[in-house]
Structure 1
Amino acid sequence: MASLPAPAPWSTPLPAADPPRGMAIFQLPTGTYETRAAFAVQGGSFREKRNFAATAVLLMHPQGDFLIDAGFGEHVAEHVKLLPRVVRAPHQAGSTARQQLQRAGYDLERLRGVILTHSHWDHAGGLDSLPVPIWINAAERKYAATDAAGKVFRVVSSDHGIHEYTFDDHAYLGFPKSLDVFGDGSMVIALAGGHTTGSVVVFVTLPSSERYAFIGDITWQLDGIQRRLERPWLLRKLADSDAAQVRQGILRVASLNELMHVIPAHDVHAYDGIPLLPADMSQ
C-alpha cells in the first residue's frame, strides 16, 4: 500500500460566496450496502466489513431547492438485479428520499431538480419516485446512455425531464471547469471526471461560512482522502473510467481537506455533522 504524494495545502483565498439567509442542507439516508474494506480502499482488511451509504442531500435555497444525488429508490431490489453479479452486495433499504420529504411535510414543488454527482445506481435509484428534472452534464449523459453501469439510470430516468447544464471555463478550487448554480457562490458544480466521464464535485457554502465538498466517488471512504489512497487495483479497473484522472481528483480534494467538510458519497460517518430533516417542514 502506498499513499499518493502529499499535495501542497490550498494556500490562496477560497472563492467568494454570498450564501443567502435561510439556506440550509439536510441529509436523507436511504439505506446502506455492505462491502469489505479490502474492496473499498488500498490496504483495507478483508475481515473488516464496511457499510456504504446511499444518502441524498437536500439543499434549500431561496431560488429553489435541489437534491444532491437521490439514494436508493422504492425498487432497490429490482435495481440490484440489474447489476452484474460481481458487484451485487447485501443491502439494507430505508425510507426513500421522497418518503422522508413527504413525512416531514416538505412541498415537493420547491424541488428544482436532482443534481447527480454521477449516474451509477446507488446515486440515481431514488429517481424512480421523484418526479423532478435530472441535472446532468453532456459527458455524464452520454456515459449513462451507453455504459453498462448506466442500466439502472436508464430505467429510472425514462420519464424524467433532463436539464443538461454546461460548465464555463472558470477553474474552481483546482478543478478545470465549473458552474455557479445560483450565481452567488453558494453551490458550485465542478467537473471532476475519472470515476465516470462526467462525474462532478458539488461545493456548498452555507451562511455560517461552513463549506462542504460532496465528492461523489472520487474515493468511496474518507480514509481515501485523509491518507491519499486509491481504490485497489482491480476496483480501479472495474469502477473507474480514467484512474489517472481519479488520482488527480484525490490530490485536489486532499489539498482542501483542512478547509472544508469533505463528503465521499459512501462514507456513512462523513455525513455525521449534517442534520436530518426536521419533523415538520410545512411551516
Structure 2
Amino acid sequence: MALGVVDHCLLIETRAGLVLVDTGFGLGCVRDPGTMVGPSRFVIGAELAEHETAVRQIQGLGYDPADVRHIVLTHLDFDHAGGLSDFPEATVHIHGPEFRAATARRTFSERTRYRAQQWAHGPRWMVNEIDGGEEWFGFRAVRDLPGVPPEILVVPLHGHTRGHVGVAVDTGRGWLLHAGDSFGVGSEIDPAQPHTPLLWRLYELAAVAGMPYRDNRRRLLELNRAHGADITIFSAHDGEAFTRLSSSTVRPARWRGGESGA
C-alpha cells in the first residue's frame, strides 16, 4: 500500500480475448525493485507483494495471462507500466505524446518517473494519435485501436504527463472511465461539493503541466455533473472507488477491477 492508495487496473473480457487497462507493478518489480522501480519506491512508500500483481490476480480469477491480448495504458509512469513484461505477447496501446516523452526522457521529472527497464523486453507497441479523433461527451477521443473492440477508446487527458489518457469502456449498461491520474480521489469531482484534500493538492506537483491537469479535472467534474448517471468515473489511486468497484461484473462487456502492487 502506497500512501493508503491503490493501483487500480481494469480487466475486460471481450470476444477477442482479455484487455488490461494499466498493469500496476509487476513480478519484476517485486523481485528486483532496485532495478525495475528504483528509489522512487521509497518516496511513495510502495510495499510490493507478488499476490497483488495483475498477473497473479488474473490467474486467481481463473484466466490464463496469455489470454491478455491487449494492454491499454493510461500512461507509462513506473507504477502503471511495471507489469508489462508479465504479458510479453500482448499488444501495448500507448498514446503518441506519452510514448515520445517516455522514450526521450528529456527532463529530470521524466527521467525519474519513467523506468525504461520495465519495457526492456521489447513490447509490441501500438502507438495511437489524436489526429482524426472523434468526440466523446465533449472530449476528443481515439476509437481506432487495432484489435481492440470499438467499445473501448482512449480519451486524452494531458497534464499529469505529456500524453496521459483516460480509458473509456461502453459496458452496454453505461460507461466506465478509468481516468488514470487525472485526479486523486472521488471528492475532487463530487458534483455537489468538490474538494481536493491537502495530500492530493501536493500530488498535483507531480504533474508535468499543472494548468492542463487542473483544466481536465474541472472538465471531469463537469462531465460527472452532467452525465454521472451514465458514466462511472474513477481514478487509479482512489481506494474507496476501488473497494466499491473491484467486485463488480457488468454484462455484456464483462470487466473486473483489480489492485496491483501498491
Amino acid at match of 1:119: L
Distance 2:201 2:184 in 1: 14
Q: Structure 1-normalised TM-score?
A: 0.71
Structure-2 residue corresponding to 1:166: 129
Structure-1 residue corresponding to 2:247: 275
CA deviation string 1:113-141 (max 9, x = no partner):
21111111111112232212321121001
Amino acid at match of 1:165: N
Tell me how far 1:256 sits from its aligned partner: 2.4
- Give the secondary structure class of the aligned counterpart of 1:256: helix
CA deviation string 1:239-282 (max 9, x = no partner):
111111111211221122223211110001212234279xxxxx
Structure-2 residue corresponding to 1:71: 24
- Among 51, 65, 86, the alignment partner of 1:129 is 86
- Among 193, 197, 217, the alignment partner of 1:250 is 217
Structure-2 residue corresponding to 1:14: none
Q: Which has the higher helix share?
A: 2
C-alpha contact (below 8 Å) 1:174/1:252 kept by paired residues = no
Q: Do structure 1's residue 178 and structure 2's residue 142 form an aligned pair?
A: yes
Amino acid at match of 1:220: G
C-alpha contact (below 8 Å) 1:113/1:133 kept by paired residues = yes
C-alpha contact (below 8 Å) 1:54/1:265 kept by paired residues = yes
- Give the secondary structure class of the aligned counterpart of 1:176: strand
Structure-2 residue corresponding to 1:88: 44
C-alpha contact (below 8 Å) 1:172/1:178 kept by paired residues = no
Distance 1:183 1:68 in 2: 12
Q: Do structure 1's residue 103 and structure 2's residue 60 form an aligned pair?
A: yes
Q: Do structure 1's residue 261 and structure 2's residue 232 form an aligned pair?
A: yes
More displaced 10-residue stretch of structure 1: 191-200 or 157-166: 157-166
Give the RMSD, CA atoms, in angstroms.
2.5
Q: Do structure 1's residue 229 and structure 2's residue 213 form an aligned pair?
A: no
CA deviation string 1:56-101 (max 9, x = no partner):
210111133210000121224334434286x331425343111122
Amino acid at match of 2:204: R
Instruction: Tell me: higher relative CO, structure 1 or 2? Use CA pairs within 8 A at least 6 residues apart.
Output: 2
Structure with max Cα Rg: 1
Structure-2 residue corresponding to 1:9: none
C-alpha contact (below 8 Å) 1:143/1:198 kept by paired residues = yes
Distance 1:183 1:196 in 2: 24
- Among 117, 139, 150, the alignment partner of 2:97 is 139
Amino acid at match of 2:117: V
Cα distance change, pair 100–235 in 1 and its aligned pair in 2 (3 A):
closer
Cα distance change, pair 138–175 in 1 and its aligned pair in 2 (3 A):
same
C-alpha contact (below 8 Å) 2:128/2:142 kept by paired residues = no
C-alpha contact (below 8 Å) 2:11/2:20 kept by paired residues = yes
Gaps of 5+ in 1: 1-31, 35-50, 278-283
Distance 2:113 2:124 in 1: 17
- Give the secondary structure class of the aligned counterpart of 1:164: strand
Structure-1 residue corresponding to 2:75: 118
Cα distance change, pair 234–55 in 1 and its aligned pair in 2 (3 A):
closer
Distance 1:246 1:113 in 2: 27
C-alpha contact (below 8 Å) 2:143/2:150 kept by paired residues = no
Q: Do structure 1's residue 241 and structure 2's residue 219 form an aligned pair?
A: no
Q: Structure 2-normalised TM-score?
A: 0.76
Distance 1:88 1:249 in 2: 24
